[in-house]
Amino acid sequence: MPRRWVFLSVTFATALVLAAAIAYLMPVNQVARHAPAGQALVGGPFELTSHTGERVSEKTFHGKHMLLYFGYTYCPDVCPTELQVMSAALDKLGGTADQVQPIFVTIDPERDTAKTMATYVANFHPKLIGLTGSAEDIAKIAKAYRVYYARAKDDGSSSEYLMDHSSIYYLMGPDGAFKKHFTYTTDAEKLANGIKAALSG
């Protein structure tokens, strides 16, 4: 084999090995980056509009623990109850609540404009931020947080409709990573204690 060919085959073989190694390592790295062992795949980047009309992202809240709840302002029962529990828990936390940013994300962006959200969040806690966005924005964050939502079946006779949705509080760390979730049966006392434990742990 001429020396040049030997050189070329060696170069080609090296390139193949490198390509195979990159192809093998890439998915592993990506998986590792998105889901460190034992950490739930909840959360991620988002871009939404706050109730004051500002465009915000997950980075806006970095440095604070986000306490998120997903629902809608037309909700007749569960959402108002849960937001009251959230507010009461924040009050129980006292000064510790400074480390927490409570956020209410609508899953009904069609009706929940920034203005509607502003009026609504004012009923609960002064620190509560309401977030809305386009249908795509909301679909994206709901997917990231694994939130189920769908328009409830009705007879179509009324312009008022209900939304089915999962009812869970999510506590995210100051880096935006998932820390803990609380189900809707959690009362204010348990929620406050759970947050306090997560903040000190």
Residue 78 interacts with Ni ion (CB under 5 A)?
yes
Q: Which is nearer to Ni ion, 61 or 184 (CB)?
A: 184
Residue 30 beta carbon to Ni ion: minimum distance, rounded to whole angstroms: 35
Residue 54 beta carbon to Ni ion: minimum distance, rounded to whole angstroms: 25
Q: Which is nearer to Ni ion, 61 or 74 (CB)?
A: 74
Residue 129 interacts with Ni ion (CB under 5 A)?
no
Among 48, 70, 71, 191, the residue binding Ni ion under the rule CB under 5 A is 71
Residue 48 interacts with Ni ion (CB under 5 A)?
no
Instruction: Please state, in angstroms and rounded to a whole number, the distance separating the CA atoms of residues 196 and 201.
Output: 8
* Piece in contact with Ni ion (CB under 5 A), picked from 8-16, 64-72, 145-153, 176-184: 64-72
Q: How far is CA 125 from CA 45, 104, 116, 122, 157, in A?
A: 25, 11, 16, 6, 35
Phi, psi of 22 (to 5 degrees): -65, -45
Instruction: Please state, in angstroms and rounded to a whole number, the distance separating the CA atoms of residues 174 and 170.
Output: 13
Residue 112 beta carbon to Ni ion: minimum distance, rounded to whole angstroms: 12
Nearest Cα to Cα of residue 129 among 170, 157, 101, 109 = 101
Phi, psi of 63 (to 5 degrees): 100, -20
Instruction: Please state, in angstroms and rounded to a whole number, the distance separating the CA atoms of residues 136 and 68.
Output: 19
Residue 187 beta carbon to Ni ion: minimum distance, rounded to whole angstroms: 17
The pairing of beta strand 65-71 with beta strand 129-132: unpaired
Among 42, 66, 67, 75, the residue binding Ni ion under the rule CB under 5 A is 75
Q: Find out whether 196 and 93 touch, Cβ atoms under 8 Å.
A: yes
Residue 79 interacts with Ni ion (CB under 5 A)?
yes
Structure tokens at 201: 């742990």
Residue 60 beta carbon to Ni ion: minimum distance, rounded to whole angstroms: 25
* Piece in contact with Ni ion (CB under 5 A), picked from 13-21, 58-66, 68-76, 134-142: 68-76
Residue 81 interacts with Ni ion (CB under 5 A)?
no
What does the binding site for Ni ion look like in residue numbers (CB under 5 A)? 71, 75, 78-79
